[in-house]
Chains A and B, each alone.
Chain A
Amino acid sequence: MADGVDIINAINKNLSRVNENINANLNDGFNEVRSNLRVIDNHVITVDDNVRLINSEVAKLAADFAEFVQTDIKQKALIRAEAKIGNLRDKLKDQFGHHETVRKHTVGILQADDLEIVRKETITTVTEELMLAAPGYWLAPCLVAISAWINDNEELADRAVREAIKRDDEKTSLLFGLICRRAERKAPCLKWIQRYLANQDEERLDRKTVIILDAFASGLLGADSEGIVARQLEEWLTRLADKAGFVDQQTSQWSEAINLKKKPFSGDSYTYLKKYSKTWSKLQKIMEGAHLHEEIYAYFENIFEQQSSGMALREQLDEILSSLVTDFDEEEIPLRQEYKQTELVIEYDGDENRAKQDMQSLQTTFETHKDFTQLLTDAAMKPETAHASISTQKFAIALSRDWISNAYNDIVAKNRMEIPHNIEINVDNFNDNTVDGKNEAELVAKFEKMVAGEISVANAANTMTVFEQYCMYGGIGVAVIGLLAMLNGGGWVFLGLLGIAGGIGLILHHFSRKKAVELRRQQIAYEFDKKKKDGVGIIRAVIAEVVDFRAYFAKKDSESTKVLNLLEQIKPEEYVRKLSDTSRRLKVA
């Protein structure tokens, strides 16, 4: 037996040793694998770094290559442009060189006449030579006419002007209009300007015309006492008004512009309405509409109270005159544009995209067209973006008075259409409404009735169960039975004691529940009484604010009459016809 045990012990020992060896070997193996993995990890990191480095170098190379391609493209474009610009210059010189000479001489003659330092004979000789050198060019006969004018040769001036008009009526009219303005000859100036305007399409007015109208409105072109320009403008308006949908278009155009002046209404003084009426958002919106009248009145009043200087406008007019006598004509434009773009390519070292962008912005500056009525709306309501002077704002409002009134009446009606007849009152789960607060007593009664109903429901839920109600009688019964059992003695004593204890427990439970129900009833009474008091207070406060709101809205809304009266006092015919450089002010108070 002892041998057997020894053998088993020996086997156990050997097994332990084997186990230890296996463990030791496994641990060594694991450690080696771990260290090998660490080495692999390091290698992977190194490879990763290398890949990143290669990537960045490839990206750099790609960027360098792209830059090289771009530079190459630019260089080639630059070479092309440099070769082209010479050709273009020659072409321009061949085809329009004489135009350039006429333009330079026009500027020179105008300046010389201003300074009175060139002999009249010299001017005459030069202009006649230029007339011969520039056949078909509108500015050449203009130059002859200016020269004849300086020399007081009416007949020649007349013939030259006729020829210039034949060649280009619009430009000739504008040129002489602006020269007359510089010479302070306002009556002929207005006639020329009218002629220029008559050449315009009232549905496509450019920026130049806008400046001319601005100058007219500012009185810089003289007083239109005979209504020459005013008639032209009326003609435009009549033609536009005859178009289908004109009135609608005007009304919506003005409505849109006027509505932009709306400001948000916070309604901070209406704390209860804000919190306890679902109608609040509607009320807020209509009040914004009502406040608009004050804004618009102040806006129009401010315009008519301001004086205009006209200094900036004078400069703009001179710019137009200068561009008329220095800028190219339509027939030259394609070649000139090509020349300009090539010039820009050279300036930007072959960057064709940048040159194109610059060309586009150069072209769009003066190429914006709008119809006459849109011009009036923009001038009146968006003077900053329309670059309109105070005079033009006044002029635009005066001319558009009837459309503004129409649009304004519609805006007012639209806002009034949104006036909610019933204003909701939402307090807790009470939802009702009022028109003008006259039903306050009725609403309060309804609310109190609702709360009374809620009290009944709450109290109905706060009662003792049948079991709890009968616990007292049941308890007494069980206690009495227990007592009788105890009196029997013997084995009944213990059961009797249990019965008495159980009976007392039931009686105590009955009274405890009764007390709890009573306490809850008092709590319900307190809570609902508070709810009633608070609710009634809120309802009265909301109603007070409704009354307040209705009154305040009516007051603000009625200010629309002020705006309409102000517009009524503006007499467009009178205003446009009596425009003069004496800075006449329109009385609008």
Chain B
Amino acid sequence: MPKPMLGTRQKTETDYMLSLTAKTETKAGGDPLKIDKLLRKQRSKQYMETVSKLDVGGKIHNHGKAKEIIEALRQEFPEIELDGDFMGIVSKCHLGEDYEVHRLDIIDDIIEHYRRGQPLPDGLEKARSIAIHGGYEFIEVYTNCFRAIGRDGSVSVVY
């Protein structure tokens, strides 16, 4: 049975319509070493294109875009069930003003932009610096590690 990847936080009553109902389930099983091996694979061009459009929708919380990215992730790793350890994506924000980073919230299917001094929630703050200064396209945040994805889709893992 594949190992769950997406976060197990329970959704609140304010959940958005486009939320994926299955993702809050925590499924046991799966070989973590095999999953790590799979997640080290270079990301596809299609996936890179989809995720790099994180701030295309501007400052508005874009649920549709979030869902599209989540779907791209599912297609990227059909062998892995997207429930459990995956917490979200953080990348450098190019919206200007004092916006620094944005994140894709997997649980709430939203993209949020954060200004200077505004901390990222749920342990994602640790990814802020590498997202801004690291030169990576974006950072995938998991409960046990960060996967920094380069422009060419190459993967670097930090535990």
Contact = CB atoms under 8 A, between A and B. Distances in A.
Contacts of A410: 156-158
A417 B157 CA distance: 10
Contact of A413 (B36, B128, B132, B156): B156
Contact of B148 (A413, A435, A558): A413
B130 interface: yes
Contacts of B146: 413, 417
A416 B36 contact: no
Contact of B33 (A245, A409, A417, A550): A245
B84 to A, nearest CB: 19
B135 interface: yes
B154 A409 contact: yes
A518 to B, nearest CB: 44
Nearest to B134: A416
A420 B133 CA distance: 9
A56 to B, nearest CB: 64
Contacts of B126: 417
A367 B132 CA distance: 51
A414 B156 CA distance: 8
A156 interface: no
Nearest to A421: B129
Greatest chain B CB density within 10 A among A419, A550, A558 is at A419
Interface in A248-297: 248, 251
8 contacts: A409-B157, A413-B130, A413-B157, A416-B135, A417-B146, A417-B158, A435-B116, A554-B135
Interface string B8-35: 0000000000000000000000010100
A237 to B, nearest CB: 15
B45 interface: no
B33 A244 contact: yes
B118 to A, nearest CB: 12
Category for how many chain A residues contact B: 20 to 34
B40 interface: yes
Q: What are the nearest 3 A-B pairs in CB distance?
A: A413-B156, A409-B156, A416-B134
A436 to B, nearest CB: 9
Interface string A137-149: 0000000000000
A412 interface: yes
Interface in B126-159: 126, 128-130, 132-136, 146, 148, 150, 154-158
Interface of B: 31, 33, 36-37, 40, 116, 126, 128-130, 132-136, 146, 148, 150, 154-158
Nearest to B126: A417
Interface in A36-76: none
B106 to A, nearest CB: 21
Contact of A247 (B31, B37, B134): B37
A453 to B, nearest CB: 23
The binding surface of chain A is classed by DSSP as helix
Interface string A399-422: 000000010011011101101110
A414 B158 contact: yes
Contacts of A416: 129-130, 133-136, 148
A417 B134 contact: yes
A263 B129 CA distance: 24
Nearest to B155: A409
Contacts of A554: 135
Contacts, number: 57
Contacts of A435: 116
A244 B31 contact: yes
Given A410-B156, A413-B158, A419 B33 contact: no
A405 to B, nearest CB: 9
Nearest to B148: A413
Contact of A420 (B37, B129, B134, B158): B129
Contacts of B135: 416, 554, 557-558
A244 B33 CA distance: 7
Contact of A419 (B31, B134, B150, B155): B134
B32 to A, nearest CB: 9
Given A248-B33, A413-B148, A419 B157 contact: no
Nearest to A244: B33
A410 B158 CA distance: 6
A390 B139 CA distance: 39
Contacts of B150: 409
A443 to B, nearest CB: 14
Contacts of B33: 244-245, 247-248
Contacts of A558: 135
Contact of A248 (B36, B130, B134, B156): B36
B56 to A, nearest CB: 25
Contacts of A420: 129
A301 to B, nearest CB: 22
A289 to B, nearest CB: 12
B85 to A, nearest CB: 16
A419 B133 contact: yes
A410 B148 CA distance: 9
Interface string A421-465: 100000000000001000000000000000000000000000000
Given A247-B40, A406-B40, A417-B158, 13 more contacts: A244-B31, A244-B33, A247-B36, A247-B37, A248-B36, A409-B155, A413-B146, A413-B158, A414-B158, A417-B126, A417-B129, A419-B133, A550-B133
Contacts of B158: 410, 413-414, 417
A200 B155 CA distance: 35
A8 B21 CA distance: 127
Interface string A546-581: 000010001001100000000000000000000000
B68 to A, nearest CB: 26
Nearest to B132: A421
Contacts of B148: 413, 416-417
Contacts of A245: 33
A319 to B, nearest CB: 41
B93 to A, nearest CB: 13
A419 B40 contact: no
Interface in A123-171: none
Contact of A417 (B37, B40, B130, B155): B130
